[in-house]
Structure 1
Amino acid sequence: MRGLLLLLATLGHAAAEDGLNAWLRYAPLPNDVRDQAHIPSTIVTLNSTETSPIYVAGQELQKGIEGILGQTLDVTHETSESPSIIVGTIDAFTAAGGELAVPELEEDGFWLSTKDGAVEIIGQNERGALYGAFEYLSMLAQGNFTEVAYATNPSAPIRWINQWDNMDGTIERGYAGLSIFFKDNLIVSNMTRISEYARLLASIRVNGIVINNVNANPVILSDENMVRLGKIADTMRPWGVKVGISLNFASPQTFGGLSTFDPFDERVIAWWTDITDKLYEHVPDMAGYLVKANSEGQPGPLTYNRTLSDGANMFAKAVKPHGGIVMFRAFVYDSVNLNENNWKDDRANAAVDFFRDLDDKFDDNVVVQIKYGPIDFQVREPASPLFAHLRQTASAIELQVAQEYLGQQCHLVYLPPLWKTILDFDLRVDGEPSVIGTDVLTGKRFNKRLSGYAAVVNVGLNATWLGSHLAMSNLYAYGRVAWDPTSDPEAMLRDWTRLTFGDDPDVLDTIASMSMESWPAYENYTGNLGVQTLTDITGPHYGPNPQSMDNNPWGQWTRADANGIGMDRTVWNGTGYAGQYPPEVAAAFESPDTTPDELLLWFHHVPWTHALRGSGQSVIQHFYDAHYAGAETAAAFPRRWEALRGRVDDRRFEETLFRLEYQAGHAIVWRDAICDFYANVSGVPDERRRVGAHPFRIEAEHMQTTGYRVTGTTPWEVSSGQRIVQTVGNSTAAVAETRVPEGEAFPRGQYDLAVAYYDLYEGKASYEIFLNGESLGKWVGDLEDRLGYTLTRGMDGHSATRVTFRGVEVGPGDVIRIETLPQGRETAPLDYIALLPPGVVD
């Protein structure tokens, strides 16, 4: 009944929303649902200091309840005999005369009780109480008025965000606008968006943030920026979020004027100590430092033949008197000397090779931050074996919300199912249960005091924070997972959807089903069987470019040739990577017969005809079938979302529909590029004769054109038929025209008419399509403004895209004409048009 009432309310939904409030909308519940709520009329906060998280919790409760239930509650700081919503710490509650028998609370933990007409929100500390207030509001916002009484504690003390914001205001892997933290090499003076962000982070129980890129600019250490850093800390502190910064290891030399940055040099040590002391003067509770050293060209201690632990400990000693910690990234590898022709070379070995002999060498306030897999945010990787080697050193897992390699927030990819494959993995250290999420990262397995989570997040000035409304589910879920790694991905998703879009059952089910299908679909149409995401490794990491994975020193190789594909990472014959795992796990990965199919090509080089354990299919036929299946899943997303028209506010509905339509088209770009490329490499045809066969397409190079010339693309496989047309100049109008063939190929009827073209940066070509002289529609090549992916100036897998006109009446002899006007670098390039009968994906 509650779902029906909420559905009736949402059918006359409110004005369009921009996404700024994310899951903290506090949208009003229907009146009949509100009537089921019986809550106290007073909020008691056991701290009257306005910068206190307890005080903030009271204000948030007042705001939330007024929005959700339409009730304005008084906020006071004095307890009384009357039932109230009381918020405070255990110590404050006890000092106020309260009696509380609750399970033991750990740091940041809280107790929530809604029994006996009163509400108790009691934290182990003030941050925990604020988390409890958000928990209670989340229940109310979802129409959940059940009586509860429970305590909850975080799985790990470190639950941080890593921003990759640059001092000039850009963001590395930023797909949602410019930085909310920086502009023109200075920290911004307006703290409004920063405060709003801190509120979002508090609501998902994130307790720390590093605000600048790990490829750090030392100018963040200027006196002016230190002052402004203090303002950020003041802004985020009431929300329980501590601030940290990334450091450039060479700063004493490049910024401080010293002749060296050797971590053993007394001048360098003194310089960092002085800088650290100054920072803590401005930010007394600064969380600490994040350091990327000796990786991807970044400076580090290895420059002076010092160890990585030597470098980390220099910073650790500087922050130790202030209670700070150092997050030291394990993302260290040699991108210069790796040689693909050496069968034993393997970038995946790097983290363990660099760190395993240093386990007892790090100071106790150093946390080694380990990417979830041994390469770099790939669509499928095995869990990093380094977690099994650091028994004495604190460690944290690095996850990703930013979707680098994973569709850059232009593709719907719900990430918690991917994270779950890592967090649920049992490393079997010493033959004992060693599950990464529940044993290792909790600190229980190796009795560690520090452990936790860090997520790379790329929020920007875009109103949607991440550029995409649906992508925000990943940020929400990250906080939930860091608190409890056993959290169910779909349950979290449904909570997020109710909070973000309301309780309409159709909206809930559609978003849940699409999102849960999205990661498997993306894996299918990009790279599967553990071969990694077959993107442009030497470029933007976005569109398809499988050959870029090989023949370079970056080490993300597939070793594909006419005979087979995959990295041999066995001990007996390959790079030895499998042997980095404890014996039980290593033995399973050593043989194709015991390696899961989804990781086969990660661990083994096999012939194209190798039969998979699960299906019996050959590797190459699985490639073909998976890529077609993934594209078909993505193709259905727009239609499924379209069914929600009128159930989601217009602005968010249209913005989401646009992205899903784009994804459906780009998934076909991926499908065709990967299938064409590996059909060419392997020489093995598709058993179902789909690859390279496109009977519903009319290639642009076969159309009658004026002002166009025929060219190719780089790489060749990102164009249908290996040819496209582009205008002769960059300012003269051009035309491409074709007549629908006579015969049985295209009987008169309803078709989806798709136009494949290329949308380049630094140009906005215009297009108009006509059917028998009547305009079907216009569009402009402006995806650089509407999507936010990494920009490209070439006709390649990043710029390849499609526009689709649905339900067009077409028949033999009809004339389709496209009139174009190039602009800037964009020469109105066209690849093909497709006339798609119902149910056909091509």
Structure 2
Amino acid sequence: MLKLLFLFVFIGLVAGEDGLQAWLRYAPLPRGHHRSSLPSRIVALNDSSSSPVYTAGQELQKGILGILGEDLEICDSAPAGNSAILVGTVGQYNKVYQDATLHPDLSEDGFWLSTQGTTVRILGQNERGVLYGAFEYLSMLAQGNFSTVEYPTNPSAPIRWTNEWDNMDGSIERGFAGNSIFFDDGAIVANLTRAAEYARLLASIRVNAVIVNNVNANYTTLQPDNIEGLGRIADVFRPYGVQLGMSLYFASPANITNLTTYDPLDSRVIAFWNDKTDEIYQRIPDMAGYLVKANSEGQPGPIQYNRTLAQGANLFAKALKPHGGILMFRAFVYDQLNESDWKADRAKAAVDYFQPLDGDFDDNVVVQIKYGPIDFQVREPVSPLFANLRNTSTAIELQVTQEYLGQQCHVIYLPPLWKTITNFDLRVDNSTSLVRNIMTGQHFDRPLGGSAGVVNVGQNTTWLGSHLAMSNLYAYGRLAWDWTADPTEILQDWIRLTFGHNQQVIDTITEMSLASWPAYENYSGNLGIQTLTDILYTHFGPNPQSQDNNGWGQWTRADKASIGMDRTVSNGTGYSGQYPPEIASLYEDISTTPDDLLLWFHHVNYTHTLTSGKSVIQHFYDAHYAGALTAHSFVGMWESLKPYMDTERYDDVLFRQKFQAGHALVWRDAITNFYHNLSGIPDEAGRVGHHPWRIEAESMRLSGYEIYAVAPFETASNATAIVTRSNSTTGTASTTIAFDSGVYDLAINYYDMYGGNSTYEVCIGDQVVAKWTGDIVDTGKLGHTPSIYLDGHSATRVTFPDVKIQKGDVLTIKGTPDGIEPAPVDYVALLPRGVVD
């Protein structure tokens, strides 16, 4: 009766899933997936509620009840040979069962899983490993995998951390899923339920530590009441084997004491950090360590005192050493540059700053290196710093939060991008030197190494603001454990755990996900030119002209005739020479540089011929149209899954896919129009600037509206839009339809600005055919960084299918402004079925 009641309740809940359980839904298996026999009990060899072994027992009980409908008893012992699921460390198991034959080869956090016979044994090298093994077994059951297995598995590296860029006021830098689950109004939140739920998710993918506050840290984090609050976070993390770490503000001694210095060699500063670290470890004895961002993007650091970055890092490392803590020191250090200097190059900064210091860092310092030398672009070469630190431990920094990659409003499955980096052979000393082996410490025989994923979860029930974006968090943990794992297999595990076993669902989401990064690269920035977003504002929408004529160094050096950074030794910045000789030679020669990095390493004419036979400019045109078309195909693919999907998640993802389809066109048009205007070279296919199904808003008959010149010009069709004459005046724009009578899809491009929710109504004749509110920003329907301007960030497209029109009908848009938003409209398109304008 209990089993039937549970299944009834669970099936009822499936109809409205909100994403909070992510891949740990423990949904009942469909018919045909059932094990004939199951152990009769769970034996957890530690009954302390703060123990991961105890948590493993609780998780197994919960998971098996959900998946199989069996409510197993948990106990702390069972006679040898009895049917049971045994969970504990190898030491605990051998002590209880005196099994001298069992000595699995396990390293720290590793586990051994055996389903041989009637007893399932899940044994860890430590208690955290036990919990990892329990989640592994539950993942098998949830996917209907009842095979007999017996194997040990060990992590590729000891550091498998996430970085959360949460601020003390509760905001999250580059967070797109609501406010912080850790902080609010300068303090730690009172209710840490979500923090515990997050630790559970991370434990299930074997992430072992979280830096909970922003790398752009605040010194108030070190105040005693906040240290106590961080201790409470650590307390809720501990049962899941997740350690807490924290970011530090380098100049803290000069802010919270009467010291006027933060010189890392000053004895008073050294004493401050030693005492403060002791204070923290007294409350959090298992703290993982510190993360420090110094002398980067305006942050203070040791260079202010003519000290080296190594001296700054070692200040903290020495304070941590007695406690077993790790100091993660970011390599993201660079200066403002002058673009008129042909040899200036931000990409060179990491090697220039850190290579001379190789060997000067203490053994518990790990230099945290972004995967590419700029900043999480859609495609970059691997950072050459990995090849230049032979005597220093390193870790790779990846982004799960899609700062430059659509901010979770565009679906992008990131592991294929990561794999281009981690699988790259740097050919150090002319021998195999895979990045994954360098960053994990294996290649240079370093004691530490691994990865840090910038995740930025928030209060949204989907954690990241998007259901599909969670595949990236799941895959990050799986890959951090084993960098040789296959991204497609990981993805399909996640789909089964998140959406169920229907093969069409698995195949469709797989196809969408694997096409997503190439599509985004195509319509945002390709050939190694970087993501052509607005680097000076929100990093979301297109703004290619923002890339140049600034001091930030993310340049394209685009002019009327040519484009690309010359990073050769022979004629450019010399960046290519930072790689080992074989790789340097590859990139130095334009004939051997891969096309997908051509403009990263070489400055060429728009007419330069690629290996495909196309010119650079024609490739730009073709790629952007192809990428936008792929984004449009995702809508229909997702709609095909409606019969197999719960309504809540189906609707949420469909809304985002429709937004992406429209915003991909904004990207496509902005980039192609910009380079068409700059180069003067026409698109051979005649598409750029030619939109036969559009009606420009400024060409319509206007009342209460006026024409507005949009900046940057390329983020509006024909460079102009219309806005209401005042923020209290309703505007109308009308036109006589010249298209043939028939059924069309009605698409309107407008601007959804932060600070107002304008309302719109479209009539054909006297019939209202469409209504909507421009509220996707202010109401949080989408989580991207908002804009208060008419630009590529606020540009949005809404589509209404199957609208009947008669030639000669009058189409009228009525826009009612709200707040600072003047009901802006760019264009109207009437599209025959199947046409993407």
Shorter-chain TM-score category? over 0.9
- 1:798 paired residue number: 793
Q: How does 1:773-812 map to 2 (within 5 A)?
A: 773-784=766-777, 785-812=780-807
Structure 1 residue 818: Cα displacement? 1.4
In the alignment, structure 1 residue 93 sits paired with structure 2 residue 93: yes
Of 792, 816, 828, the residue aligned with 1:833 is 828
Structure 1 residue 232: Cα displacement? 0.7
Flag structure 2 segments of 5+ consecutive residues without an equivalent. Answer: 1-8
- 1:365 paired residue number: 364
Q: How does 1:315-394 map to 2 (within 5 A)?
A: 315-335=316-336, 338-394=337-393
| 1:207-238 Cα shifts (integer Å, max 9, x gaps) | 00000000000100011001111111111011
In the alignment, the residues of structure 2 paired with residue 589 and residue 721 of structure 1 have an alpha-carbon distance, to the nearest angstrom, of 39
Structure 1 residue 188: Cα displacement? 1.1
| 1:435-485 Cα shifts (integer Å, max 9, x gaps) | 011x21232210111000001011000011000000000000000110011
In the alignment, structure 1 residue 33 sits paired with structure 2 residue 30: no
1:833/1:272 Cα in 2 relative to 1: closer, same or farther (>3 Å)? same
1:287/1:810 Cα in 2 relative to 1: closer, same or farther (>3 Å)? same
Structure 1 residue 12: Cα displacement? 9.6
In the alignment, the residues of structure 2 paired with residue 163 and residue 53 of structure 1 have an alpha-carbon distance, to the nearest angstrom, of 23
- 2:695 paired residue number: 698
Q: How does 1:610-649 map to 2 (within 5 A)?
A: 610-613=608-611, 615-649=612-646
In the alignment, the residues of structure 1 paired with residue 534 and residue 112 of structure 2 have an alpha-carbon distance, to the nearest angstrom, of 49
In the alignment, structure 1 residue 815 sits paired with structure 2 residue 778: no
Structure 1 residue 810: Cα displacement? 2.5
- 1:749 paired residue number: 742
- 1:431 paired residue number: 430
In the alignment, the residues of structure 2 paired with residue 645 and residue 333 of structure 1 have an alpha-carbon distance, to the nearest angstrom, of 48
Q: How does 1:414-425 map to 2 (within 5 A)?
A: 414-425=413-424
In the alignment, the residues of structure 2 paired with residue 749 and residue 98 of structure 1 have an alpha-carbon distance, to the nearest angstrom, of 81
Query: 1:16, 1:649 within 8 Å by CA — same for their partners in 2?
Result: yes
Query: 1:710, 1:725 within 8 Å by CA — same for their partners in 2?
Result: yes
Give the letter aligned to residue 530 of structure 1.
Answer: G
In the alignment, the residues of structure 2 paired with residue 764 and residue 731 of structure 1 have an alpha-carbon distance, to the nearest angstrom, of 13
- 2:495 paired residue number: 497
In the alignment, the residues of structure 2 paired with residue 10 and residue 280 of structure 1 have an alpha-carbon distance, to the nearest angstrom, of 42
What's the TM-score once normalised by structure 2's chain length? 0.97
- 1:295 paired residue number: 296
Q: How does 1:319-718 map to 2 (within 5 A)?
A: 319-335=320-336, 338-437=337-436, 439-613=437-611, 615-718=612-715
Query: 1:37, 1:145 within 8 Å by CA — same for their partners in 2?
Result: no
Structure 1 residue 55: Cα displacement? 0.3
Of the structure 1 ranges 747-756 and 693-702, higher mean CA displacement relative to structure 2 is found in: 747-756
- 2:41 paired residue number: 42
Of the structure 1 ranges 22-31 and 339-348, higher mean CA displacement relative to structure 2 is found in: 22-31
Of 715, 725, 730, the residue aligned with 2:727 is 730
In the alignment, the residues of structure 1 paired with residue 705 and residue 31 of structure 2 have an alpha-carbon distance, to the nearest angstrom, of 62
In the alignment, the residues of structure 1 paired with residue 32 and residue 486 of structure 2 have an alpha-carbon distance, to the nearest angstrom, of 30
In the alignment, the residues of structure 2 paired with residue 752 and residue 251 of structure 1 have an alpha-carbon distance, to the nearest angstrom, of 58
In the alignment, the residues of structure 2 paired with residue 640 and residue 659 of structure 1 have an alpha-carbon distance, to the nearest angstrom, of 13
SS at match of 2:619: helix
SS at match of 1:522: helix
Query: 2:628, 2:668 within 8 Å by CA — same for their partners in 1?
Result: yes
SS at match of 2:627: helix
- 1:249 paired residue number: 250
What's the TM-score once normalised by structure 1's chain length? 0.97
In the alignment, the residues of structure 2 paired with residue 664 and residue 551 of structure 1 have an alpha-carbon distance, to the nearest angstrom, of 31
Give the letter aligned to residue 776 of structure 2.
Answer: L
Query: 1:209, 1:244 within 8 Å by CA — same for their partners in 2?
Result: yes
Structure 1 residue 37: Cα displacement? 4.5
In the alignment, structure 1 residue 53 sits paired with structure 2 residue 48: no
| 1:76-96 Cα shifts (integer Å, max 9, x gaps) | 111313121000111011101
| 1:8-48 Cα shifts (integer Å, max 9, x gaps) | x99999321110000000011124423x3522011011111
- 1:134 paired residue number: 135
Structure 1 residue 311: Cα displacement? 0.2
Structure 1 residue 748: Cα displacement? 2.5
Give the alignment's Cα RMSD to 1 decimal.
1.3
Flag structure 1 segments of 5+ consecutive residues without an equivalent. Answer: 1-8
Query: 1:45, 1:87 within 8 Å by CA — same for their partners in 2?
Result: yes
Give the letter aligned to residue 562 of structure 1.
Answer: K
Query: 2:378, 2:405 within 8 Å by CA — same for their partners in 1?
Result: yes
In the alignment, the residues of structure 2 paired with residue 638 and residue 31 of structure 1 have an alpha-carbon distance, to the nearest angstrom, of 30
1:782/1:402 Cα in 2 relative to 1: closer, same or farther (>3 Å)? same
- 1:158 paired residue number: 159
In the alignment, the residues of structure 2 paired with residue 139 and residue 98 of structure 1 have an alpha-carbon distance, to the nearest angstrom, of 28
1:291/1:193 Cα in 2 relative to 1: closer, same or farther (>3 Å)? same
1:656/1:600 Cα in 2 relative to 1: closer, same or farther (>3 Å)? same
Structure 1 residue 675: Cα displacement? 0.2
Q: How does 1:300-319 map to 2 (within 5 A)?
A: 300-319=301-320
In the alignment, the residues of structure 1 paired with residue 301 and residue 137 of structure 2 have an alpha-carbon distance, to the nearest angstrom, of 46
In the alignment, the residues of structure 2 paired with residue 542 and residue 37 of structure 1 have an alpha-carbon distance, to the nearest angstrom, of 52
Give the letter aligned to residue 107 of structure 2.
Answer: E
Structure 1 residue 103: Cα displacement? 4.1
1:225/1:238 Cα in 2 relative to 1: closer, same or farther (>3 Å)? same
Query: 1:250, 1:300 within 8 Å by CA — same for their partners in 2?
Result: yes
Of the structure 1 ranges 164-173 and 107-116, higher mean CA displacement relative to structure 2 is found in: 107-116
In the alignment, the residues of structure 2 paired with residue 491 and residue 750 of structure 1 have an alpha-carbon distance, to the nearest angstrom, of 43
In the alignment, the residues of structure 1 paired with residue 421 and residue 306 of structure 2 have an alpha-carbon distance, to the nearest angstrom, of 34
In the alignment, the residues of structure 2 paired with residue 11 and residue 288 of structure 1 have an alpha-carbon distance, to the nearest angstrom, of 43
Give the letter aligned to residue 737 of structure 1.
Answer: S
- 1:74 paired residue number: 73
SS at match of 2:643: coil
| 1:133-167 Cα shifts (integer Å, max 9, x gaps) | 00000011111111111111100000000000000
Query: 2:395, 2:440 within 8 Å by CA — same for their partners in 1?
Result: no
Structure 1 residue 105: Cα displacement? 0.5
Give the letter aligned to residue 708 of structure 1.
Answer: Y
Structure 1 residue 312: Cα displacement? 0.1
What is the identity percentage for the equivalent residue pairs of Structure 1 and Structure 2? 63
Query: 2:394, 2:440 within 8 Å by CA — same for their partners in 1?
Result: no
Structure 1 residue 815: Cα displacement? 2.3
In the alignment, the residues of structure 1 paired with residue 14 and residue 392 of structure 2 have an alpha-carbon distance, to the nearest angstrom, of 52
Structure 1 residue 638: Cα displacement? 1.0
How many residue pairs align between the two structures? 825
Give the letter aligned to residue 636 of structure 2.
Answer: R
In the alignment, the residues of structure 2 paired with residue 475 and residue 421 of structure 1 have an alpha-carbon distance, to the nearest angstrom, of 18
| 1:170-204 Cα shifts (integer Å, max 9, x gaps) | 00001100000000110112110000000000000
In the alignment, the residues of structure 2 paired with residue 494 and residue 32 of structure 1 have an alpha-carbon distance, to the nearest angstrom, of 19
- 2:227 paired residue number: 226
Give the letter aligned to residue 395 of structure 1.
Answer: T
SS at match of 1:786: coil
